[in-house]
């Protein structure tokens, strides 16, 4: 009997601790707290929250930087309340692009494993609690609900897919890509004729070389002075894209490996070109890959590796893995 009473008391305390939730009221003033020296993306996320709360509820929000917030944290509270006591500089979200949404009577807290996680938390809150919908870069539904009570919750989400890009023209709009939590879509749209659209310019966010990159590391212009860098086919070194289809490199040549590593190191140290505000500032992923077409090298060294592994992937993977060992922080 004592155990039953204790359990009932525990349930009552638990339900009471949940409270009624956080009220977001029309014309009520709110403060969106972020850390004082937060990066631009956190400011952007806070301003997105303020803008959409105004559109959906009529709330009057302003963003304020304070020292008490954690680096990747955004807190919404009623203006004028003794709110600083509730702020914490301890984060529970820690994974890449992860976000947490915590709602109780005192306010709304969004945490991110990184700054982009905070932005994703903002959009998830707007979708899940205020029924905002973005169907394309031009079609959206942002319903006005007026005063709204948000029930208490504690939500945590981490995508099982670390890098996300949908290679689709509409998603070359970086704004809608950010809302849909696609951290790779940073290409640009281009209209080349009426009803003829193409993806042009820009980058794949997070990537350096994208595909078919051998000639980006060892220039075809080196053929005349160093034919040994290029594939041997039927006993002859074939020029790049020559009449016999020689389009690859001699991947067991030590100088080819050295040149490739040097070129990658130089390119990796250069700043990334135009990227959306939500994109990573450095490139993590680098494609070290064969050129399109055939014409793999059949010199004795390359042939040995290819026959050992049963395909031309033998010499390719041997070359790629040697490069990968030089850049352990890249993928």
Task: Tell me the two tokens of residue 77.
Answer: 């509270």
Q: Tens digits of per-residue pLDDT, 96-143? A: 999 999 999 989 999 999 999 999 999 999 999 999 999 988 899 999
Sorted by where each starts, the structural domains of the chain and their CATH numbers stand as: 18-157 (3.30.379.10), 169-204 (no CATH), 214-326 (no CATH)
* Contact in structure between 330 and 265 (CB atoms under 8 Å): no
For residue 316, the SS3 value is helix
Please enumerate in sequence order all residues whose Cβ is within 8 A of that of 41, keeping only pairs 6 or more positions apart, or say none.
115, 116, 118, 119, 277, 278
Q: Per-residue pLDDT for 183 more than 50?
A: yes
pLDDT band per the 50, 70, 90 thresholds, residue 16: very low
Q: Is the pLDDT of residue 92 over 90?
A: no
β-pair type (29-35, 60-66): parallel
Query: What are the distances in angstroms from CA 97 to CA 28, 35, 81, 89, 120?
Result: 31, 18, 31, 19, 8
Residue 123 to residue 117: CA distance in whole angstroms = 10
Phi and psi dihedrals of 189, rounded to 5? -85, 150
First to last CA, the chain: 60
User: Residue 309's beta-bridge partner residues?
Assistant: none
Strand blocks (E) in the chain: 22-24, 29-35, 60-66, 73-78, 99-104, 107-112, 133-134, 140-141, 148-150, 153-157, 185-193, 196-204, 232-233, 236-237
Half-sphere exposure of 221 (CA within 13 A, CB side): 3
For strands 185-193 and 236-237, give the pairing: unpaired
Residue 83: its pLDDT value, please? Answer: 58
pLDDT at site 99:
96
pLDDT for position 85: 54
Closest CA to 89 of 34, 152, 39: 34
The answer to whether residue 89 scores a pLDDT higher than 60 is no
pLDDT surpassing 60 at residue 322: yes
Contact 170, 153 (CB under 8 A): no
What residues pair up with 236 in beta bridges, in sequence order?
A: 233
Q: Residue 149's pLDDT is what?
A: 96
Predicted pLDDT at 137: 86
What residues have CB less than 8 Å from 281, skipping those under 6 apart? 271, 272, 275
Q: Please write the tens of the pLDDT for every residue from 220-233.
A: 999 999 999 999 99
Mean pLDDT over residues 70-83, rounded? 86
Q: What pairs with residue 133 in β-bridges? A: 141
Count the Cβ atoms, other than its own, within 10 Å of residue 276: 17
pTM of the model: 0.84
pLDDT, residue 6, reads 45
Q: Cβ–Cβ contacts within 10 Å for residue 128, how many? A: 13
The bridge status of strand 22-24 relative to strand 148-150 is: antiparallel
Rounded CA separation 64/33 (Å): 5
């Amino acid at each position: 009997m004592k155990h039953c009473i204790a359990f009932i008391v525990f349930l009552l305390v638990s339900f009471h601790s949940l409270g009624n939730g956080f009220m977001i009221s029309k014309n009520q003033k709110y403060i969106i707290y972020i850390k004082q020296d937060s990066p631009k993306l956190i400011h952007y996320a806070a301003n997105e929250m303020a803008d959409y709360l105004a559109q959906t509820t009529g709330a009057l929000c302003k963003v304020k930087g304070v020292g008490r917030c954690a680096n990747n944290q955004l807190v919404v509270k009623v203006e004028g309340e003794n709110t600083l006591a509730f702020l914490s500089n301890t984060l529970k979200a820690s994974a890449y692009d992860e976000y947490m949404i915590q709602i109780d009577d005192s306010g709304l807290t969004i945490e991110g494993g990184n700054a982009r996680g905070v932005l994703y938390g903002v959009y998830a809150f707007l979708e899940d609690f205020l029924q905002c919908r973005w169907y394309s870069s031009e079609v959206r539904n942002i319903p006005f609900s007026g005063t709204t009570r948000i029930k208490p919750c504690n939500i945590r989400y981490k995508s099982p897919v670390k890098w996300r890009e949908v290679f689709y023209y509409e998603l070359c709009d970086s704004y809608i890509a950010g809302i849909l939590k696609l951290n790779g879509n940073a290409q640009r749209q281009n209209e080349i004729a009426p009803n003829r659209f193409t993806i042009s310019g820009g980058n794949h966010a997070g990537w350096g070389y994208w595909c078919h990159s051998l000639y980006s590391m060892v220039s075809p212009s080196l053929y005349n002075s160093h034919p040994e860098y290029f594939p041997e086919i039927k006993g002859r070194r074939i020029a790049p894209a020559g009449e016999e289809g020689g389009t690859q490199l001699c991947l067991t040549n030590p100088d080819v490996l050295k040149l490739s590593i040097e070129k990658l190191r130089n390119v990796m140290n250069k700043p990334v070109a135009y990227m959306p505000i939500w994109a990573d500032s450095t490139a993590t992923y680098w494609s070290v890959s064969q050129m399109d077409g055939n014409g793999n090298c059949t010199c004795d060294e390359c042939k040995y590796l290819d026959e050992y592994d049963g395909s031309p992937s033998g010499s390719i993977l041997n070359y790629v893995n040697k490069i990968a060992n030089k850049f352990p922080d890249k993928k």
